[in-house]
Amino acid sequence: MRLVETSIPDINEMNIDQSKLLLAQDIVNNISPLLDEAYSTKINHKRKLQEEVKTSKKRINDEKVEVERILKDYNRKKKVARILDRIGKLVESGLVHDSQLKNETVILLKILDKLPEDKLDMQLNRTIEVLNKRFSRS
């Protein structure tokens, strides 16, 4: 039988636990840098994704506020357009020639853009009532 010399140290039975610990420590020392690098890569990727989510949420909230503002402005302009349409019907029907209604209509047209929402609703209902009274008499 032939003996081959290797660089593997012989282990005696008295020292087997210590040899296992040294072998395990060598394995950990060799693998640890690889695991640390993979871990740091994952952590950096996670941080980037969290930042992207944060900026996306901020952008979405900003756009939501902008859409709500545009929608509110659209509804206001829609009400103003309906009031102007009703006033146009009043003019066509000849009801505006009444001096009191004529003065109120002129004042309303001057301040129509400055009125708050509740006043716009009130004026819209008022013009509907005037038109209903006029056409119910006919």
pLDDT per residue as tens digits for the range 28-71: 888 888 788 888 899 999 999 999 999 999 999 999 999 999 99
Question: Is the pLDDT at 125 greater than 80, yes or no?
Answer: yes
- pLDDT score recorded for residue 55: 97
What pLDDT sits at residue 6?
A: 74
Averaged over 86-97, what is the pLDDT? 72
If you average pLDDT over every residue of the chain, what do you get? 81
Query: How many CA atoms lie within 13 Å of 100's alpha carbon, on the beta-carbon side?
Result: 1
pLDDT for position 96: 63
SS3 helix, strand, coil % of the chain, rounded to 5?
90, 0, 10
Cα 20 from Cα 91, distance rounded (Å)? 103
Percent with pLDDT over 70 in the chain: 85
Residue type, 33: P
Classify burial at 38, counting beta carbons within 10 Å of its beta carbon; exposed 0-12, middle 13-18, buried 19 or more. exposed
Please, are residues 83 and 112 in contact by the beta-carbon 8 Å criterion? yes
**Alpha carbon distances (Å) from 29 to 24, 32, 33, 73:** 9, 5, 7, 66
Across 79-90, average pLDDT:
81
pLDDT of residue 66: 97
**Across 69-82, average pLDDT:** 90
**Residue 132, pLDDT score:** 76
Confidence of residue 17 (pLDDT cuts 50, 70, 90): confident
Cα separation, 93 vs 134, whole angstroms: 8
| Spatial contact of 124 and 82, defined as CB atoms under 8 Å apart | yes
Residues 8 and 26: their CA atoms lie apart, in Å, by: 14
User: Residue 99 above 80 pLDDT?
Assistant: no
